[in-house]
Copies of this chain bind each other. A is one copy, B any other.
């Protein structure tokens, strides 16, 4: 056992409370799968990339607890986060006469987690599910918050539900097979928690970025744990995103505009968030909320993490349009998450002219 690389985070949401287990090798450790709701059938939902690597291991562990363990593999990629893919999960469930006690296991990254969680929320009006995130981004982002969704042609994550898992199992071993580009994308969401909530964590990331990029299990365990803790603290105060929780979207407003403007799947979500944080920092600076030194330090860290810091040249109008139809907009007013001061975030509007300046300064 590796005591330094095995840890837990408790998510306290009353009767919807659950735990996050973090550790190397959890897929094959029976303790990780004990005490879940009993059922005749478990359905592992995965994708064509992750499934061949890890589905059999999970299937083996679950076979000790469920009489029947099915696996359903989705095509890999954000482009498949659609109704059609969701429908394929319902088809498997119904063709196998799965009842309302069936437990769904989401084995994969954010797309698999979001779509499987939404399937669990809707199938027979709700069945239990377990998140088994295999990307850094999913481990630090979708582990906490209960957000599930699919995309609509007009907007990302427009159709979904708040629905909490029974448990989240983060096997750090799965990060060893993660492509470098996806590791960097995950680091964007880790970095995010610093400026918005905890500059000591920001300093820690700054000092440990090389270890994280080398996938050191101890460094990864701490990064995942601290990210989940910060997110849990915020979500615990605002489960259904009525206010405070919006600060978790630091980097996401500009980021969503990049993703929507280029077409979903062109950039990874984390890449768009990385660049979006640079743009949000620039906007914060232009509003006098942070100084140039902070913006430079954040930009340098994002670049070192292997993330883009220059946005695509879509023109300010395209950025503004996509941000206006974002879920976070209210009656067409864009709500930006800005840093004020470093270690703390605020949600507020900004003049279109200033936003256009930022787009011009950051995109080419």
Contacts and interface: CB of A to CB of B under 8 A. Distances in A.
Nearest to A241: B125
User: Could you tell me the dominant secondary structure of chain A's interface residues?
Assistant: mixed
Given A83-B83, A94-B152, A126-B240, A121 B161 contact: yes
Interface residues of A, number: 37
Given A83-B83, A94-B325, A159-B90, A331 B122 contact: no
Interface string A238-264: 001100000000000000000000000
Contacts of A101: 330-331
B87 A83 contact: yes
Contact of A124 (B90, B324, B327, B331): B327
Given A90-B159, A121-B161, A331 B152 contact: no
Contacts of A152: 90, 94
Interface string A113-128: 0000000011111100
Contacts of A161: 121-122, 125-126, 161
B160 A122 contact: yes
B155 A94 contact: yes
Interface in A125-159: 125-126, 147-149, 152, 154-155, 158-159
Nearest to A125: B160
Interface string A310-330: 000000000000001101011
A162 B126 CA distance: 8
Given A94-B154, A100-B327, A125 B162 contact: yes
A133 B104 CA distance: 35
A147 B158 CA distance: 21
Q: By CB atoms of chain B within 10 A, which of A100, A327, A330, A331 has the most?
A: A331
A332 interface: yes
A99 B159 contact: no
A151 to B, nearest CB: 11
Given A155-B94, A331-B40, A125 B100 contact: no
Nearest to A325: B97
- Specify which of A83, A100, A124, A147 lies most central, judged by the most chain B CB atoms within 10 Å of its CB: A124
Nearest to A97: B325
A260 to B, nearest CB: 12
A329 B99 contact: yes
A97 B159 contact: no
Interface in A234-292: 240-241
Most chain B beta-carbon neighbours within 10 Å: one of A99, A161, A330: A99
A331 B162 CA distance: 27
Given A100-B330, A125-B147, 17 more contacts: A90-B159, A94-B155, A94-B325, A97-B324, A97-B332, A99-B327, A99-B330, A122-B122, A122-B159, A122-B160, A124-B158, A124-B327, A125-B148, A125-B160, A125-B241, A126-B161, A126-B162
30 contacts: A40-B331, A83-B83, A90-B152, A90-B158, A91-B154, A94-B152, A94-B154, A94-B155, A94-B158, A94-B325, A97-B324, A97-B325, A99-B330, A99-B331, A99-B332, A100-B330, A121-B161, A122-B159, A122-B160, A122-B161, A123-B159, A124-B158, A125-B147, A125-B148, A125-B160, A125-B162, A125-B240, A126-B161, A126-B240, A161-B161
